């Protein structure tokens, strides 16, 4: 070990500053309390401070920063959704993503790869043509490609999928990207902290007090906080928090699992998704194949992982890439996905005054981290929904006006 | 959870079953308001609990009820719909 490194390790004082400050105790009140220190909660705190000058804000995290679904996701970023509302929203997110590394002065390893969604049936080809039309209409690069083009672009893939699910074409989305998930949480956390926001880890919200239908205080494992404004950004724990304010929602929790292989030399540049085979895969900057499948088949509030998942996903991976048969799986894990019936998020104001919701992110919310933070901050600052998120308000389930994204979000992430 | 006891076919691998969601009582559509009806159609109890759920044994086509702890993923008992444990 180089001498300098040894000296650095043994020294008590480390010149490298921490990413954010720690605070001995909570203040008795804050203007805004954000529940959940994942990417979404931290991004909202960042934009509240940066864009709206609202800095008397605390972010409460029951575990450690970014340890929820932010740290568990497969980091696919794209905007080729199905509804105009969805496409506009996610497209704005992709725009924000591109500048984030420079803005944070922190390398997010944001890497534009191109994204193929494979079609194995006529029905899925039809949905892809529909998506491509909607996307292009809104200025998002997206087109249907045929098998010949796929063969040229992906010579290492078995287009017959082992002979039992031949690929008929694909939706190609050039802006499709991956990023380093932890860095996103840290970047937003540091940026918020520098602007005066307090981040409290190991602080769990256990209750919310209401007064005349409006939020008046938040109860935590570290004491009571008086506040009139709460943002709930807890993904897989959303129903537990909405119950505290007596709000019912369509959200149910189902685990989503993922796994990575041992590192390989770079061979897979784009992101590949197959809805029929329940596979999506990309190769990380470290060379690992990052792979996921569909949701676990029933409600469960747990992050256990299963052998069934590894076995099923590995077999579908081998349908597409038979040469991987000797590659080993390195790690697997699960997150709790907060699912909605129309595969769109639930965002914005709620019937409870001062209680804002940023939830229903299911299997697709990582890509939305920047735009969700930005629009939720605007919504809190103005007390009404930002125009990009109007179609996502909880009220759509009382008005029977859903925002159907199933055709673009159910396996694709 | 790897095995589930179908009240008709006995203990079978979980891969033979499909989850049908929590058992809920349908209100009389003519007697409730639009908002109450929307609440029934869309809203779910998403919090962890021991829940009464519909399960379906695919090979034999049997729907039945299971009481399951949605945190520990443990089934406490299963029985036919309308029956008791
Ligand atoms: C396996 C997997 C793969 C995925 N792949 C993709 C993908 O490729 N692309 C994509 O766009 N999305 C993907 N997603 C979805 C994405 O990860 C999530 O939608 C997103 O990360 C949600 O971010 P968040 O900040 O809202 O939630 P989280 O990161 O989960 O943060 C919520 C935080 O709230 C905290 N919390 C909960 N309850 C309390 C409480 N009572 N008090 C205080 N704190 C509390 C939790 O500890 C947690 O840290 C995937 C998800 C999973 C599980």
Under 8 Å between Cβ of A261 and A329 = yes
Q: Where are the beta strands (DSSP E) in chain B?
A: 3-6, 10-13, 17-22, 50-57, 62-69, 74-79
Q: Which residue, A296, A321, A339, sits at the end of a domain? A: A339
- Out of A60, A61, A73, A204, give the residue to mutate to test ligand 1, the one with the largest number of ligand atoms within 8 Å of its CB: A73
φ, ψ of residue A201 to 5 degrees: the values are -85, 170
* pLDDT(B62) > 70: yes
Task: Kindly state the greatest CA–CA separation across chain A.
Answer: 68
Residue A124 shares a structural domain with residue A240: no
Residue A101 domain flag: no
Residue A164 shares a structural domain with residue A238: no
**CATH code for the domain in which residue A292 is found:** 3.30.9.10
3-state secondary structure of A329: strand
For A311-341, the pLDDT digits (tens) are 999 999 999 999 999 999 999 999 999 999 9
Tokens found for residue A215: 């939020």
What is the pLDDT averaged over residues A376-404?
A: 96
Report pLDDT for A403: 86
Residue with tokens 């944001």: A110
Residue A256 shares a structural domain with residue A381: no
CA of A6 to the centre of ligand 1 (A): 37
For A64-113, the pLDDT digits (tens) are 999 999 999 999 999 999 999 999 999 999 999 999 999 999 999 999 99
Under 8 Å between Cβ of A68 and A241 = no
* A41 Cβ closer than 6 Å to some ligand 1 atom: yes
Give B69's Cβ-side CA count (13 Å radius). Answer: 8
User: CA A157, A160, A164, A167: dihedral to nearest 10 degrees?
Assistant: 90
Positive/negative CA dihedral, A93, A94, A99, A105: positive
Contact A240 B39 (CB under 8 A): no
* A411 Cβ closer than 6 Å to some ligand 1 atom: no
Residue A287 — left, alpha, or beta (φ > 0 → left; ψ -120 to 50 → alpha)?
Answer: left
Residue A38 shares a structural domain with residue A166: no
Positive/negative CA dihedral, A321, A325, A326, A329: positive
Residue A371 shares a structural domain with residue A401: yes
pTM: 0.95
Residue A244 shares a structural domain with residue A369: yes
Q: B63 has which bridge partners? A: B56
Which residues of chain B lie closer than 8 angstroms to A359, CB-CB?
none
Residue A233 domain flag: yes
Residue A3 domain flag: no
Picking from A366, A356, A368, the residue whose alpha carbon sits closest to that of residue A335 is: A366
* pLDDT(A412) > 60: no
Residue A324 domain flag: yes
What mean pLDDT is reported for chain B? Answer: 94
* A352 Cβ closer than 6 Å to some ligand 1 atom: no
- Given B47, B53, B73, which is nearest A302 (Cβ)? B73
Residue A321 shares a structural domain with residue A362: no
φ, ψ of residue A42 to 5 degrees: the values are -70, -40
For A338-360, the pLDDT digits (tens) are 999 999 999 999 999 999 999 99
Confidence of residue A222 (pLDDT cuts 50, 70, 90): very high
Residue A31 domain flag: yes
Percentage, residues of chain B above pLDDT 90: 93
What mean pLDDT is reported for chain A? Answer: 95
Residue A90 domain flag: no
DSSP one-letter code for A337: E
- Compute the distance between CA of residue A36 and CA of residue A132 in angstroms, rounded to an integer: 35
**CATH code for the domain in which residue A53 is found:** 3.50.50.60
φ, ψ of residue A252 to 5 degrees: the values are -125, 155
DSSP one-letter code for B27: P
What is the pLDDT averaged over residues A114-139?
A: 96
3-state secondary structure of A111: strand
Contacts with B, A 282-341, CB within 8 Å: 297-302, 304, 308, 338, 341
- Compute the distance between CA of residue A279 and CA of residue B2 in angstroms, rounded to an integer: 23
* A60 Cβ closer than 6 Å to some ligand 1 atom: yes
Residue A159 shares a structural domain with residue A215: no
- Out of A26, A94, A365, give the residue to mutate to test ligand 1, the one with the largest number of ligand atoms within 8 Å of its CB: A365
Beta strands at A76-77 and A177-178: parallel, antiparallel or unpaired: antiparallel
* pLDDT(A7) > 90: no
User: Cα A388–A394–A398 angle (5° rounding)?
Assistant: 125
- Given B34, B46, B53, which is nearest A239 (Cβ)? B46
Total count of domains within chain A: 2
Residue A402 shares a structural domain with residue A257: no
The stretches of A70-204 forming alpha helices (DSSP H) are: 84-104, 122-137, 147-153, 181-194
Report the Cα A43 to chain-centroid distance in Å.
12
Residue A58 domain flag: yes
CA of A236 to the centre of ligand 1 (A): 7
Confidence of residue A13 (pLDDT cuts 50, 70, 90): confident
Quote the minimal CA–CA distance from A253 to chain B in Å.
6
Residue A373 shares a structural domain with residue A318: no
**Is the ipTM above a cut-off of 0.90?**
yes
Q: Which residue, A339, A363, A382, sits at the end of a domain? A: A339
Non-local CB neighbours of A62 within 8 Å, separated by 6+ positions: A202, A203, A204, A205, A221
Residue A267 shares a structural domain with residue A196: no
Confidence of residue A1 (pLDDT cuts 50, 70, 90): low
Residue A311 shares a structural domain with residue A222: no
Contact B47 A243 (CB under 8 A): yes
Is domain B3-26+34-80 given the CATH code 3.40.50.300 in the classification?
no
Positive/negative CA dihedral, A215, A396, A248, A44: negative
Could you list the residue range(s) of the whole structural domain that residue A307 is in? 112-175+252-339
Provide DSSP, A159-191: TTGGGTS---EEEEETT-EE--HHHHHHHHHHH
Residue A85 domain flag: no
Quick one: closest CA in A to B44, which residue? A250
Contacts with A, B 1-20, CB within 8 Å: 15, 18-19
């Amino acid at each position: 070990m180089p001498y300098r490194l040894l000296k650095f390790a043994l020294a008590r004082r480390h010149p490298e500053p921490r990413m954010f400050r720690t605070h001995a105790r909570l203040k008795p009140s804050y203007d805004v309390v954000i529940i959940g220190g994942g990417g979404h909660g931290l991004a909202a705190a960042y934009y509240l401070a940066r864009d709206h000058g609202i800095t008397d804000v605390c972010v409460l995290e029951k575990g450690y920063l970014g340890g929820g679904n932010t740290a568990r996701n497969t980091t696919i970023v794209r905007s080729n959704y199905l509804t105009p509302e969805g496409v506009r929203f996610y497209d704005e997110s992709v725009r924000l993503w591109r500048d984030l590394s420079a803005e944070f002065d922190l390398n997010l390893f944001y890497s534009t790869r191109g994204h193929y969604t494979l079609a194995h049936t006529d029905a899925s080809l039809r949905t892809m043509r529909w998506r491509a039309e909607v996307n292009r209409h809104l200025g998002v690069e997206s087109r249907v490609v045929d098998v010949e083009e796929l063969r040229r672009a992906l010579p290492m893939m078995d287009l017959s999928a082992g002979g039992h699910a031949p690929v008929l074409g694909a939706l190609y989305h050039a802006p499709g990207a991956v990023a380093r998930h932890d860095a996103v949480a840290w970047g937003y956390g540091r940026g918020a902290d520098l602007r005066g926001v307090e981040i409290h880890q190991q602080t769990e919200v256990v209750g919310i007090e209401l007064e005349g239908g409006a939020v008046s205080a938040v109860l935590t494992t570290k004491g009571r906080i008086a506040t009139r404004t709460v943002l709930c950004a807890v993904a897989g724990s959303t129903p537990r928090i909405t119950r505290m304010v007596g709000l019912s929602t369509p959200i149910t929790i189902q685990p989503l699992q993922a796994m990575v292989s041992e590192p390989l030399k770079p061979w897979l540049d784009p992101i590949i998704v197959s809805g029929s085979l329940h596979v999506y895969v990309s190769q990380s900057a470290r060379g690992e194949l990052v792979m996921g499948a569909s949701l676990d088949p029933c409600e469960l509030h747990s992050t256990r992982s299963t052998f069934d998942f590894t076995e099923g996903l590995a077999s579908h991976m081998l349908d597409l890439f038979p040469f991987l048969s000797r590659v080993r799986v390195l790690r697997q894990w699960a997150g709790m996905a907060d699912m909605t019936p129309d595969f769109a998020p639930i965002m914005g104001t709620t019937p409870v005054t001062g209680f804002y919701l940023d939830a229903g992110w299911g299997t697709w919310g990582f890509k939305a981290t920047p735009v969700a933070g930005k629009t939720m901050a605007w919504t809190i600052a103005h007390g009404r929904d930002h125009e990009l998120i109007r179609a996502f308000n909880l009220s759509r389930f009382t008005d029977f006006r859903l925002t159907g994204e199933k055709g673009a979000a159910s396996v694709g992430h | 959870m790897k095995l589930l006891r179908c009240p008709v076919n006995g203990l079978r691998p979980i891969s033979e079953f499909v989850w049908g969601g929590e058992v809920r009582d349908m209100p009389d559509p003519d007697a409730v308001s639009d908002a109450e009806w929307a609440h029934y159609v869309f809203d779910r109890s998403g919090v962890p609990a021991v829940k009464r759920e519909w399960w379906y044994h695919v090979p034999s086509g049997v729907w039945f009820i299971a009481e399951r702890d949605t945190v520990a993923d443990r089934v406490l008992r299963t029985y036919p719909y309308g029956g008791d444990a």
